[in-house]
Chain A
Amino acid sequence: MSSEYLVEVKDLKQYFPIRTGFMKTTLLKAVDGVNFGIKPGETLGLVGESGCGKTTVGRTLLRLYKPTGGEIYYDGNLITDQNMIQYRPKMQMVFQDPYSSLDPRMTVEEIIGEPLDVHKLYSNAKERREKILSLMELVGLNAEHATRYVHEFSGGQRQRIGIARALAVDPRFIVCDEAVSALDVSIQAQVINMLEELQEKLGVAYLFIAHDLLVVRHISDRIAVMYLGRVVETADADELYDSPIHPYTQSLLSAVPIPDPNIAKNSKRIILEGDVPSPLRMPSGCAFRTRCRFATEKCAQECPPLTDRGNGHMVACWNK
């Protein structure tokens, strides 16, 4: 079976059992029926507030968790129950925290070389060394950095090491889980530009998970908005920002502080009341209805499906 998507998930579900009392567990539905596809060389942005399940989507997609339900396809192959070792070189991940995701006891060379060792991607030591150096050059690190330890580097440089490690196996798809969030703005731009250049050069596809909506808009071709384990809206990046349809997307976008005093001080915000409900006590029907201005009885009874509103702009809302 072939499809236009490099990576596709259908009705992906990930539940975690949580102990809520003596002899009592409740299912935390971190991801509850998510569908999307990513084409080769494309960037899909995944946004939402903390606890909405965006990180879990990324991790389940790479089978770091065993999915509770649903299907994951890579290049048309169903990989939900496959041995992942053959797919690891194709699908990689860059983690949020460049401090805890790199082993402090390893040198840069060892860190970047490890995936090469695991997948035996070289024939002799010289080739291994050359590969490592070319990867370091690719992400803008100097050759003399190879023998240094992680603690000698700044946050931005560490993130480059993490990216070089992900690129070592020549992947076609990388999950970037908040890959630039821990960095200072001036360094953030360096890493974003690097990710974009690598995409142009190598044609990798990204799932770019982040909570900074301006960064996501900048880097993404398409964007999916999540709320409490479900995708509520997906569209092309510009379309989503220019004409959001779902009430949650609308308020999320209006809440972003724009770095321009005239716009920021004069724009009308849609301020959401209250907090995100606990995922252990999900509201019935549409999860957003408790904070929604347009909620009706129907919203409480039935969960709205994602429907196409033209141009691949998908929205899950009864009233909009």
Chain B
Amino acid sequence: MSQNTEKHTPLLQVIDLHTSFKTDKGEVKAVNGVTYTLEEGKSLGIVGESGSGKSVSAYSIMQILDGNGHITQGKVLFKGEDITKYTPKQMEDFRGRHCAMIFQDPMTSLNPVYTVGNQIMEAITTHNKVSKEEARKKAQEMLELVGINDAPRRLKQYPHELSGGMRQRVMIAMALVSEPSILIADEPTTALDVTIQAQILELMMELQKKLGMAIIIVTHDLGVIAQMSDEIVVMYGGRICERGTAEDIFYNPCHEYTKGLLRSIPSVSNMKKKLVPIAGTPINLLNMPKGCAFCARCDNAMKICLTQVPEEVRIDKTHLASCWINIRDNKYLHEEEAEVKA
């Protein structure tokens, strides 16, 4: 593919990913053509409301979808290799060794009948040929790494004996045993209190610096996204509305949905002003509109929005949006056209 100059291969590329679920009521297209890139050691935030497909897009990377769900189209390239073509055996190796995941509720994702130590050691022995004693030592090191004091005692405890924040630390320890290059965190702090959330986010950033891994953080919380991400993907109705650097998204939102989202949250600047909510109700994935998914709730919807899905256009070097209004007003695009004409 690449010619003379060595082409830079990003760590992870998701290209035109489609995922759907077969249900009694019909096919639910949870993810409809999602494209993004994750560079080594960077943080990517995926933000959206419930049903936007943000979690499913992350589950698709790991291929841990429910039985009735499958990737229908698109590629996921890990260091240039398409992992959707992997055999189940290869995939097993990919999970854990190269890419690990932590979930929203650490109580339901830890096994209540095994001790914490057992579960971490299982993660270690699955991917490495080590003796039980070595695994125990490694497990203890991992607990210390994630800031759990008194590790030898904690190893013998069961998940119910730990607090929510502690359980999430155990999950992180488990995810990181093989030093994966990607950590996917699906709403990692949603179930936690703010002070504990601050501890966990701080820990994740610290570990990222120490181990140099890339993080995909999936959340609905714009505050968490602002703090954690270098780049942000905004999703609605299974599609990407807008993506760019954190600064692009927060200071120069271009998609009507992103703008609406930022107006509807209380922040320091609009404290005494009335919030501007987004009218209407979230989209029903069984009944997707023909055009832009957001058009029914958009104040500035045009005729074309109802009938055609907008293409993604470049706003500037790092910033892309899929909105007809941007296509109409896009200076970058018009400049390019003018150049071509000239």
Contact = CB atoms under 8 A, between A and B. Distances in A.
Contacts of A261: 226-227, 229, 246-247, 250-251
A258 B49 contact: no
Contacts of B261: 185-186
Contacts of A196: 274
A88 interface: no
A263 B267 CA distance: 11
A221 to B, nearest CB: 12
11 contacts: A187-B277, A187-B278, A190-B279, A252-B194, A257-B198, A257-B221, A261-B226, A261-B250, A269-B202, A271-B195, A275-B196
Contacts of A190: 277-279
Interface stretch (A1-9, A106-114, A207-215): A207-215
B278 A189 contact: yes
Contacts of B309: none
B271 A217 contact: yes
Contact of A189 (B246, B250, B277): B277
Contact of A271 (B163, B199, B265): B199
B198 A264 contact: no
A157 B69 CA distance: 29
Contacts of B247: 261-262
* CB-CB nearest 3 A-B residue pairs: A257-B223, A189-B277, A218-B266
Contact of B250 (A154, A193, A260): A260
B163 A157 contact: no
Contacts of A214: 223, 265-267
Interface in A205-255: 211, 213-215, 217-218, 238, 251-252, 254-255
Contacts of B282: 154, 184, 186-187
A49 interface: yes
Interface residues of B, number: 46
Given A185-B49, A214-B265, A261-B246, A272 B199 contact: yes
B211 interface: no
Nearest to A49: B193
Q: Which bracket fits the contact residues of A?
A: 35 or more
A154 B267 contact: no
B111 interface: no
B243 interface: no
A64 B166 CA distance: 33
B260 A257 contact: no
Contact of A192 (B166, B224, B275): B275
Contact of A272 (B195, B260, B271, B278): B195
B166 A189 contact: no
A180 to B, nearest CB: 11
A42 to B, nearest CB: 16
A200 to B, nearest CB: 11
Interface string A261-290: 111110001011001100000000000000
Contact of B264 (A154, A185, A271): A185
B281 to A, nearest CB: 5
Given A49-B193, A262-B247, A275-B196, 13 more contacts: A184-B50, A185-B265, A186-B260, A186-B278, A192-B275, A193-B275, A211-B194, A254-B198, A257-B223, A261-B246, A261-B251, A269-B198, A271-B199
B193 A50 contact: yes
Nearest to B247: A261
Interface in A39-78: 49-50
Interface in B43-78: 49-50
Contacts of A184: 49-50, 220, 282
A50 B246 CA distance: 30
Interface in A159-187: 184-187
Interface string B231-267: 0000000000000001100110000000011111111
Contacts of B268: 258, 260, 263
